[in-house]
Each structure stands twice: as structure tokens, then as C-alpha cells.
Amino acid sequence: MRSLVALLLVACVIGQQITAKKDIELVSNAKALWEQFKIDHNKQYAHDADEAYRFTVFVDNLVLAEERNQWGTEMHGVTQFMDLTPSEFRAQYLGFYPKHQETLSQPHNLPGYARVNCVGQTQCNYATLGAVTPIKNQGQCGSCWAFSTTVAVETAWFMANHTLDELSPQQIVSCDTQDGGCNGGDTPTAYAYVISAGGLETSAEYPYTATNGVCKFNAADIDASIYNWTFGITPCNTFATHDCNNQNETGMYTVVQQLGPQSICVDAQPWQTYKSGVFDSPLCKHGYYDLDHCVQVTGYGTESGTQYWLVKNSWGVTWGEQGYIKIIYGVNMCGVADEVTYAFGSAQTN
């Protein structure tokens, strides 16, 4: 027994030494990585002291990325967020605002198969089926909830036999009075705003500014509309269910397969350093009150024998896998199945 304990202690010390060595190597390479980071992401700082501080944050995040590589199967590394502390990253780029309910909401009666679908397919990407717009970039604004709603409306409009148009998240950010603009919000209240407004303008008519702004909505310029929305599966947003330990990913798979992309909200704090691969890490939480970011599930697939959800983000194409992340299927990773919603596009034109 003593010999076993001794071996474990030696293994622990060796592990710590290896980790320390890797950290030293990271720091020694940090200056070159820092210079490339500034070029790649057009980073400029007001004065030398500010840059010096941001470099220390960058080094801390290099170490954090390496630690995350030890925990999960995905790859972490240098992203555009490496000069931000985790708290700054959360404040500037994450903006889901949880709203608990007294009773569980049930999905509506689901319609038949969508205009395009993945029935019978084990690899599914709705972008290649023409139902998903290109990657957007929310900038330094906690407007993910508005982007998630906007892409849901875009897809719903397409599924209702219209063209796939790029719509305006800025309209929701500036005009939805039930949510907080760049300070955060939620998709159900954003859907309600879109319905009450009669629809959304295009992003060309109402450009994105990454600020709250003053509402400049013009009903005459509405391009697309929805008449309703629903949960894809039963959410876990009540006091009694907020641990979200029993979410129905099998049902979610069926909904995505038959009806198309779904808006979801997740814990994205560990995504700050994500580069590629199927995200599978115990560092990502899944409780309803742990959620902080809203995105869109646009398909599913299998990579090296591992099933995953394909998720479209709103941090631009330089993040992740050209703006996407793959999340392991079946364990409610990052709360992927906590709040699943989609909209119904209006049949009439405006």
C-alpha cells in the first residue's frame, strides 16, 4: 500500500514537472505568437503600458489553452480573444440572460418534414442545403441572443419557400424593449418582438453597429416574418429542472433531422480558446443558469467515430472551424439541449 502511495506521489510530481516545462515553453514562444496575433487580428493598443498588460493576459491564456487541451478532446490555442481575461471575454462576447419559468413549456405539435431536411442522413449540414446564411460577427456586444434569433428567422423564412436572406440583428438589439441589447437577452422574448413588429428588415437596410443604438425600424422595409415559434424539445428552465441532467438529445436529433436548424443557448466560457475538433470537456457546464451564449445548431455528424452537433457561432470566420464548433452528442455538453427553439416562417410575402 505504501509503495503504491509512493508511486502515485512520484507520478504526481513528474506530471507537475512536465506541465511546468510545457508552461515554460509556451511562455518562451509567447513573444513570437503575440506578434503574429497582433498581425492576424489587427490588434493595436493605446500605449505601451496597455500593450504590456495585454501581453501578460495573452500569456495567461496560452497557459489556459494548454490546460484545456489536457482536459478535453478538442484543440485549444490562439484565438482573437487571447488578450482578454475570462471575465472581459464574458462581458464583451457572451450575452444570454436566463429567464426561469414556473412550469415546463412543451413543444407545439410539430409539422411534417421541412422544405429541405436530413432524413436518413448520418452527416448533416444545412448550410450545404441552402438553409443557413454565412457566419456573422457580433463584435464586442453581448448580442448573441439577437443573432441566434435572427438566424432562426432567416432559416424559417427559407423553409416557408422564400429566398434565404440575411436579416438584421441590429433591429432586434435596438428595438426589442424586453431584452437588454448589448447587455444580453433571450430568444423567446426576441421571437415575440419579431412577431409583434411584423418581421425583420435585411442587414443591408438596417446594418449592424455592435452598439445598442436608437431604434430605426421601418415597417415598410420588412423583408421576412414569422408567425410563431416553439421549443424543439422540452427545456429545463424551471427551478425544479435547472440542473438539466435529463435533456432529450434523441428528440433533438429527430427535430434537427426532420425540421432543420435550431436556436440553442450554451455555456461558452471555455470556447474562448477553441480552435478545432469535437468539443468534449468536463470544463463546460450544462445547467440552465450556467448558460451564457446563444447560437444555432445547423446539423450533426460523426468524426473519428464520435457523434457531434454542428454549431454555427457569431464570432466571425476566424474563430473555431471557419466560425463553427463541433460539440459531442449525447451528454448535453455545454447545455446544448437546455433551450432548443425554432420559428415558423410566414407563408405570405410582405
Return the active site residues: 144, 293, 313
First to last CA, the chain: 77
- Which CA distances in Å does 64 have to 19, 60, 245, 252, 278? 12, 6, 27, 32, 18
Q: 261 is written with which cell numbers?
A: 436548424
Q: Strands, DSSP E only, in 184-231?
A: 226-231
Alpha carbon dihedral 67, 69, 75, 81, in 10-degree steps, equals -10
- How many H-runs (helices) and E-runs (strands) does the chain carry? 7, 10
Alpha helix (H) ranges present in 108-229? 144-159, 169-175, 187-197
CA–CA dist 267, 96 (Å, integer): 9
Q: 73 is written with which cell numbers?
A: 478532446
- Which CA distances in Å does 230 have to 34, 126, 237, 345? 45, 20, 14, 12
All residues at 6 or more sequence positions from 237 whose CB lies less than 8 Å from its CB, including other chains: 98, 99, 100, 101, 104, 105, 288, 338, 339
In a 10 Å sphere around its CB, with 0-12 CB exposed, 13-18 middle and 19+ buried, how is residue 47 labelled?
exposed
CA–CA dist 280, 244 (Å, integer): 17
Give the DSSP H/E element, type plus range, for residue 309: strand 306-312
* CA contacts within 13 A on the Cβ side of 64: 21
CB 291, CB 272: distance < 8 Å? no
Q: CA-based Rg of the chain, rounded to a whole angstrom?
A: 21
